[in-house]
């Protein structure tokens, strides 16, 4: 999707407001329009991402992502494999329990892990965000998973809590 016509349209609208202004004001508005170019593009991307998230929340077994390709947004529609959205044993979850919206999380990864995640997401035909969300769902839905248990490799990595002497 090409954003330039929309950015240019906004710039024309801004310029049309100065048709009775002095040359100095026209120059300032032109510079302001140029300076706002990247901010307007970022805002349009935010709107498109929010729209894709809302559309995804209303579709069953389909995810709509917005990906940047050469600086321009592309919509990618992906059918979620049934293995990724299986319900936990004991019946279907409350339909409204997960539809309250989305939350933003900051995740810090090593460069090596980030590269591996990006490569796997690409191989699976998903965005990194969708791939990570699916990985979290799979991890939470694994029957008999040993959540809360520490492996031997975790020993000595981090200690939290209080100690008394």
Could you read off the pLDDT of 107-156 as tens digits, one per residue?
888 888 988 988 888 888 888 888 888 888 888 887 765 555 555 555 55
| From 43-52, 90-99, 155-164, the region with the lowest mean pLDDT | 90-99
The band of 161, judged by pLDDT with boundaries at 50, 70 and 90, is low
How is the chain split into domains, by residue range?
82-87+102-142
pLDDT in tens, 62-104: 888 888 888 788 888 888 765 544 444 333 344 344 545 677 7
CB 66, CB 41: distance < 8 Å: no
**Pairwise pLDDT comparison (147 vs 55), residue with the higher score:** 55
Which residue matches tokens 């929340």? 57
CA distance 106 to 140: 19
pLDDT at residue number 95: 38
Other beta carbons within 10 Å of 146 = 8
């Amino acid at each position: 999707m090409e954003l330039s016509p929309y950015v240019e349209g906004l710039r024309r609208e801004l310029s049309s407001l100065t048709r009775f202004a002095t040359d100095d004001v026209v120059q300032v508005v032109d510079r302001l329009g140029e300076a706002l170019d990247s901010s307007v593009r970022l805002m349009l991307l935010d709107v498109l991402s929010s729209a894709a998230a809302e559309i995804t929340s209303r579709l069953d077994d389909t995810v709509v992502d917005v990906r940047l390709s050469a600086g321009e947004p592309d919509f990618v529609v992906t059918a979620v494999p049934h293995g990724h959205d299986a319900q936990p044993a004991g019946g279907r979850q409350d339909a409204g329990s997960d539809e309250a919206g989305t939350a933003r999380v900051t995740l810090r990864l090593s460069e090596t892990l980030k590269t591996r995640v990006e490569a796997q997401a690409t191989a699976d035909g998903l965005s990194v965000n969708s791939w990570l969300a699916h990985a979290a769902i799979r991890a939470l839905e694994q029957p008999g998973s040993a959540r809360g248990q520490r492996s031997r490799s975790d020993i000595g990595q981090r200690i939290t809590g209080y100690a008394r002497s």
